[in-house]
Amino acid sequence: MTGKLLLIVLDGVPYANWRRYFGALEGWVSSGEAQVWRMRASLPSMSGPCYASIHSGTPPQVHGVLSNGHIHRVQMPDIFSQTRLAGGTTGAVTHSWWSAFFNRAPFDMVRDIEYDEPESTSINHGRFHTMTAYNHDNQATPCDADLFATLTSLCKRFDLTYGILHTCTLDSMGHRFGHDCIQMDNACALMDAMLANFLPAWRAMGYEVIVTADHGQSLRGHHGGTGSDQQDFALYYFGDATGPSRDTLLDQLQLAPTILSRLNAPIAETMKAAPFLG
């Protein structure tokens, strides 16, 4: 394999918030180090279905995760399995659903909270969190700087070919506060600053980096349905490849084959969408 890539998924960040609050990311767009597009989530624009679409490159109607109540092992090839087929090493610092969807289900909190399995055909190095008892008032999310540091540690220790980081902090903030409020302004700015503290190191280690969301949110903090507010988010790409014109609306199903093409890993037959980077 020749490519290395990190996928950073900030859960539930609508397109407008990316473009107005993530000043560090936008600064790298201005300076030419990053490219940005708008991407649209599959339907329903709900977290579980979107995670499965992001990683399998298939819509919920095919992969079968049709709501957050359908947490099971997805029986489709995905970015982890295809990267492993090509001999790459995979890592994940995410919510436990990613382990359940793409490695094994149900998630056993003690067995699966972290694992290092070099021979695995899916996730070699996993570090997970469950957000057990999450509710409107108690987000139950880890600190995002800790998650970024954990991913960086895995990259250094295991030379990951592909690593994914996913965090629900901003999705939970949106459900709690909505988006026209100082709490969200500050939360986005803090996330941007934490990310900016790690991103140059990832680039210096030779990684291409994609920063994006799984879906948007309405101003009231809802998602699951249709419309650009619930479905759309930004996608930032740091790397040497070129993409379509900036006004192109990308499809979430393009993400898996695009990442595999950057890694020089085989694109599964089930991934029908075309890569957008070349």
Residues within the interface to Zn ion (CB under 5 A): 11-12, 47, 171, 214
Instruction: Record the tokens describing residue 191, joined without a space.
Output: 């996330």
Nearer to Zn ion, 46 or 76 (CB): 46
DSSP string, 49-60: HHHHHHHHSS-H
CB 251 within 8 A of CB 268: no
CB of 190 to Zn ion, least distance (A): 19
Of 213 and 265, nearer to Zn ion (C-beta) is 213
Rounded-to-integer distance, Cα 105 and Cα 99, Å: 8
CB of 225 to Zn ion, least distance (A): 13
Least distance between Zn ion and beta carbon 48 (Å): 8
Beta bridge partners of 238: 209
CB of 142 to Zn ion, least distance (A): 16
Nearer to Zn ion, 47 or 141 (CB): 47
Q: Which residue lies nearer to Zn ion by CB, 65 or 267?
A: 65
- Closest separation in Å from C-beta 213 to Zn ion: 8
Q: Decide if 251 contacts 273 (C-beta within 8 A).
A: yes
Give, rounded to a whole angstrom, the gap between the first and last alpha carbons of the chain.
Answer: 16
Q: How far is the CB of 69 from Zn ion (least distance, A)?
A: 14
By beta-carbon distance, which residue lies closest to Zn ion?
A: 47
- In this complex, which beta carbon is closest to Zn ion, that of residue 11 or of residue 192? 11
**Residue whose C-alpha is closest to residue 79's, from 168, 3, 167:** 3
d(CA 44, CA 180): 24
Closest CA to 219 of 160, 179, 166: 179
Q: In what order do the strands lie in the sheet with 114-116?
A: 114-116, 125-129, 90-95, 162-167, 5-10, 208-212, 232-238, 35-40, 249-251
Residue bearing tokens 């965090």: 167
Whichever of 4 and 175 has its CB closer to Zn ion, that residue is 175
Q: Which is nearer to Zn ion, 144 or 214 (CB)?
A: 214
DSSP label at residue 259: H
Rounded CA separation 50/230 (Å) = 12
Q: How far is the CB of 171 from Zn ion (least distance, A)?
A: 5
